[in-house]
């Protein structure tokens, strides 16, 4: 009954050894006779002892926790499809027992940095995930200074000592452009995400590259904050232009869906009048009408591998960079050839992008 919870001393006594030896055994240290080892394990199992995490934390200065600090506008966070899936993936990577995830959502840069400082000051985490990397990201210097292990989700703008787990999202953007060009579009707009975010700008850059590579002018590129509201507003602006686009590539599914709403609201048809593509491959994108052509990434896998990498980094002080399968275009019904008048003069020499089927 209400036994006051066994301690390592109880196990030691039961096995007839010293506390230290019990500790050795449970930390897989060499220098313990096999039979003694077995006897200790047996005694521990019989008593039902498990080492106290708090005590271990105190003497080893380890928290057995991983941290994720998310800096996002509260308005945007609710719609973002990335983090929940990413976190679910992290959980998978933590399966090996013992480690948990500490999550913090902060509104601005100062709070973000303060949060990291607190996390290490209180040694609440053994390492962190760096998501939404920005240009001149102050976190990189801070974490290096604090000596906190970290793994970067996506490539940073500069080289850094932290390992990278990357998922080539630019590939999906290039495929989107190729797909649209193949359909005969030439006036293609891009509604980008936050330009301060490395991945936001990289996707935009790859759009620009793909366009120029196709001999097209990448004008009609606008930045947003990833929100549905911004997506809608920019869509209005694009359509108000003297020579509106015949296709719009959005940097996220929520923006694309909001953009589609604007197009419909204006009495235009998708894809007859305007083709639309998104980014994320959300479940919802498959169920709007017309179903969204979008780029599917696998944020859960990203989280899982990031967790594994971080655990390895913490364990052996180094971990290799990891490249995940690239984001792929999933062609839906929201893209089609432009109306005849808008066709490119020469039939597209781009071959149709292969369609990745949904599961």
Partner DNA sequence: ACGGTCGGCTAAACCGGTTTAACCCACAAG
Partner DNA sequence: CTTGTGGGTTAAACCGGTTTAGCCGACCGT
CA–CA gap between residue 294 and residue 305 (Å, rounded): 23
Q: Which is nearer to a copy of itself, 91 or 273 (CB)?
A: 91
Under rule CB under 8 A, residue 101 binds a copy of itself: yes
Cα torsion angle, 213, 218, 224, 230, sign = negative
Q: What number of helices (H) and strands (E) belong to the chain?
A: 13, 12
Please choose which of DNA, a copy of itself, none residue 320 contacts, taking the beta carbon within 5 to 8 angstroms, the exact cut-off set by kind.
Answer: none
Cα(106)–Cα(113) distance, integer angstroms? 10
- The H-or-E segment that residue 167 falls in is strand 164-167
In this complex, which beta carbon is closest to a copy of itself, that of residue 245 or of residue 299? 299
- The stretch near DNA (CB under 7 A) out of 18-26, 90-98, 152-160, 221-229 is 18-26
Out of DNA, a copy of itself, none, which partner does residue 44 contact, by CB within 5 to 8 A per kind?
none
90: tokens are: 């992290």
By CB under 7 A, name the one of 1, 3, 31, 340 that touches DNA: 31
The interface partner of residue 212, options being a copy of itself, DNA, none and the CB cut-off 5 to 8 Å by kind, is: none
Among the residue ranges 4-12, 160-168, 278-286, 295-303, the one whose residues contact DNA (CB under 7 A):
4-12
CB of 160 to a copy of itself, least distance (A): 23
Cβ-based nearer residue to a copy of itself, 168 or 253: 253
- Residue 351 is given by DSSP the state P
Assign 305 to helix, strand or coil. Answer: helix
Identify residues 45-64 at the interface with DNA (CB under 7 A).
49-52, 54-56, 58-60
Residue with tokens 């992290």: 90
CB 311 within 8 A of CB 96: yes
Smallest CA-to-CA distance from 282 within 273, 274, 292, 290 is with 292
- Report the alpha-carbon distance of residue 307 to residue 296 in Å, rounded: 21
The owner of tokens 């894809």 is 271
Q: Which residues form the interface with a copy of itself (CB under 8 A)?
A: 50, 52-55, 57-58, 61, 63, 65, 74-75, 77-81, 83-85, 87-88, 91, 100-106, 119, 121-124, 227-229, 231-232, 254, 257-258, 260-265, 282-284, 286-291, 299-300
Q: Which residues form the interface with DNA (CB under 7 A)?
A: 4-5, 7-9, 16-24, 26-27, 30-33, 36, 49-52, 54-56, 58-60
């Amino acid at each position: 009954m209400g036994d006051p919870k066994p301690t390592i001393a109880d196990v030691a006594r039961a096995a007839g050894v010293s506390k230290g030896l019990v500790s050795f055994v449970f930390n897989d240290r060499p220098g313990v006779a096999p039979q003694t080892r077995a006897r200790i394990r047996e005694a521990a199992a019989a008593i039902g002892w498990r080492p106290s995490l708090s005590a271990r934390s105190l003497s080893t200065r380890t928290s057995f926790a991983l941290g994720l600090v998310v800096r996002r506008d509260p308005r945007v966070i609710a719609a973002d499809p990335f983090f929940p899936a990413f976190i679910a993936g992290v959980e998978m990577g933590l399966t090996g027992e013992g480690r948990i995830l500490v999550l913090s959502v902060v509104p601005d840069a100062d709070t973000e940095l303060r949060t990291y400082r607190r996390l290490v000051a209180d040694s609440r985490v053994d390492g962190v995930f760096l998501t939404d990397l920005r240009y001149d990201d102050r976190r990189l210097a801070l974490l290096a200074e604090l000596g906190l292990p970290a793994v970067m989700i996506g490539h940073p703008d500069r080289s850094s000592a932290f390992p990278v787990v990357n998922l080539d999202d630019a590939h999906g953007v290039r495929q989107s452009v190729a797909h649209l060009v193949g359909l005969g579009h030439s006036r293609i707009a891009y509604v980008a995400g936050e330009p301060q975010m490395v991945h936001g700008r990289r996707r935009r850059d790859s759009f620009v590259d793909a366009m120029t590579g196709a001999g097209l002018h990448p004008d009609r590129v606008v930045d947003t904050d990833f929100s549905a509201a911004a997506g809608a507003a920019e869509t209005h602006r694009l359509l108000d232009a003297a020579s509106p686009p015949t296709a719009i590539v959005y940097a996220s599914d929520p923006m694309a869906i909001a953009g589609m709403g604007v197009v419909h609201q204006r009495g235009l048809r998708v894809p007859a009048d305007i083709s639309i593509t998104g980014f994320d491959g959300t479940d919802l994108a498959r169920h709007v009408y017309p179903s969204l052509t979008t780029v599917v990434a696998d944020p859960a896998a990203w989280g899982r591998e990031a967790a594994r990498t971080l655990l390895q980094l913490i364990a052996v002080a180094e971990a290799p960079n990891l490249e995940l399968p690239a984001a792929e275009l999933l062609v839906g019904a929201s893209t089609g050839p432009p109306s005849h008048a808008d066709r490119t003069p020469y039939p597209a020499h781009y071959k149709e992008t292969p369609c990745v089927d949904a599961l």
